[in-house]
Amino acid sequence: MTKPALTLYLAAPRGFCAGVDRAIKIVEMAIVKWGAPVYVRHEIVHNKFVVDGLREKGAVFVEELDDCPLDRPVIFSAHGVPKAVPAEAARREMIYVDATCPLVSKVHIEAERHHQNGLQMVMIGHQGHPETVGTMGQLPKGEVLLVETAADVARLAPRDPDRLAFITQTTLSVDDTAEVVAALQDRFPNIVGPHKEDICYATTNRQEAVKAMAAKTPAMLVIGAPNSSNSKRLVEVGTRAGCTYSQLVQRAHDIDWRALDGITSIGITAGASAPDVLITEVVDAFRARYDVTVEHVETAVENVEFKVPRVLRDPA
């Protein structure tokens, strides 16, 4: 039986970013250096396949420092943690390694600098997301006001409307965030913004690739986890850019083939915490059902690399 023809548009860049790659290396190198088990506070990155693979190598994932024994190393996830967490680990004389993405750490430093200059912070982010919790936890309670949407801006009650600065979660929708920033600047004309936008290069690049891909096909799949902020934003960006079908899948077995019946083209991308093996798995699933022609939609080339902490590079 002849397979139906399908053009598969593959977004570039897609998948792992430098911060995710670094965080995974940190866990793997810690297991080699100190042996198993190594404890990780929160999922190191938001991807079940990655987390399960590290668990098989000897990582134990927990939610709080209290769940970690004092005599084993603990690693803090790529999303960052409140300042109180490493302080408590140091007080307990634990070995700990901070796998916070350097671009998230940049936002932490920025918030600290504004606070020292007497400014109250407004954070654009998602309530309860680990990155938001970690960033807000860099400053004393009440010093960071959280907004998620432009509508939230109208309800803000800052200490001094003329002494404000804003920061953002690194994995937000670029377009949605621009709307919130515009609302902040409209209501608080003196609000101070970041020197360089806080949404990270990887988030921005993946969203731009999705927009370019959406111009070529009405259907799109995003490979990523349901708790991955940047992956969910890619689905939303695809829908906004004109894809009538834009869905998140974790693995190939999650694809709803009935919903794709009759398609002649589809776009494929992956969130920043999805490994290449899952992208290949999805492409192979399409090859099994269709006569696939692959076209790459490249909007940026990434060559960013972050070093792991010195404690893991030091053989002593």
Phi-psi map region of 76: left, alpha, beta (phi>0 left; psi -120 to 50 alpha) = beta
Determine the residue type at 281: E
Q: Do 152 and 130 have their domain in common? A: yes
Question: 77, 101, 125: which is the final residue of a domain?
Answer: 101
- Collect all residues with Cβ–Cβ distance below 8 Å to 37 and sequence separation of at least 6: 58, 59, 60, 72
pLDDT at 197: 83
pLDDT digits over 247-306, tens only?
A: 999 999 999 999 999 999 999 999 999 999 999 999 999 999 999 999 999 999 999 999
Domain containing residue 254: 5-16+201-298
Report yes or no: 23 and 312 within 8 Å, Cβ to Cβ. Answer: no
Position 68 in a domain:
yes
- CATH number, domain containing residue 145: 3.40.1010.20
pLDDT at 208: 97
Q: Do 92 and 114 have their domain in common? A: no
Q: Do 159 and 218 have their domain in common? A: no
Per the structure, how many domains does the chain have?
A: 3
Low-confidence ranges of the chain (pLDDT < 70): 315-316
- CATH number, domain containing residue 29: 3.40.50.11270
pLDDT at 299: 97
Task: Classify burial at 55, counting beta carbons within 10 Å of its beta carbon; exposed 0-12, middle 13-18, buried 19 or more.
Answer: middle
* Catalytic positions: 131
Q: Do 124 and 173 have their domain in common? A: yes
pLDDT digits over 215-233, tens only?
A: 999 999 999 999 999 999 9
